[in-house]
Amino acid sequence: SQTIHQWPATLVQPVGSPLSLECTVEGTSNPNLYWYRQAAGRGLQLLFYSVGIGQISSEVPQNLSASRPQDRQFILSSKKLLLSDSGFYLCAWSVADEQYFGPGTRLTVT
Amino acid sequence: SQKIEQNSEALNIQEGKTATLTCNYTNYSPAYLQWYRQDPGRGPVFLLLIRENEKEKRKERLKVTFDTTLKQSLFHITASQPADSATYLCAPLYSSASKIIFGSGTRLSIRP
């Protein structure tokens, strides 16, 4: 069966520091991969999606970037975090028009 | 641009009653419309998918309808239980796109 891993589960980072969140998927090949952010009490905001290695589509211009170095690995990065980057970051993969989400990373920028 | 609107306010329902949640979209009709459940601190969990040529879909106590004329999907939970309390998200999918964009969700509370 397919599983999706995200780490770390929680993260507290100072403003201006770099960020790297990793997501890996097991049990499937060539999945569509997604990064979402959810601010407290708000809906899901699609940040990036990828249909293949090295193929990244950005939905919202900001100081975040994404990379897909391997088929089942999706990385979210920032060179300098802002306070507004705080939130719940979710990685997801899709098959047959259904999305499956990872456990999420709670990021607090202080 | 495409907009997805869900009941912005929380819905409070007495246990045993039917809860009905609304999802409205503008402009283009999606090829599919999905419903997800999200519990606090967790990622959304897929519940049901309905295609544009289907008027109704059922799964246990859940029922989803899709009206392309009204540009609306309704999500029903019959015989509601306190364990059904969660935020429910709708997500239209357009056949030409690979991305799924979610509505802001409706928080449902079922009181005993």
Over residues B39-51, the pLDDT tens digits come to 998 999 999 999 9
Strand partners, A46: A36
What's the confidence (pLDDT) of residue B1?
65
Check B46 against A98: CB less than 8 A apart: yes
CA dihedral A56, A21, A93, A49 (to 10 degrees): -20
CA torsion A27-B31-A59-B90 (nearest 10°) is -80
Q: pLDDT tens digit string along A88-109?
A: 999 999 877 788 999 999 999 9
Predicted pLDDT at A41: 76
| Res B38 pLDDT > 90 | yes
Q: Do A97 and B89 touch (CB under 8 A)?
A: no
Position A44 pLDDT exceeds 70: yes
Mean pLDDT of A30-56: 90
Q: Which of A98, A106, A107 to mutate to test the interface with B (most CBs of B within 10 A)?
A: A98
Distance from CA of B35 to the nearest CA of A (A): 10
What pLDDT was estimated at residue B95?
A: 64
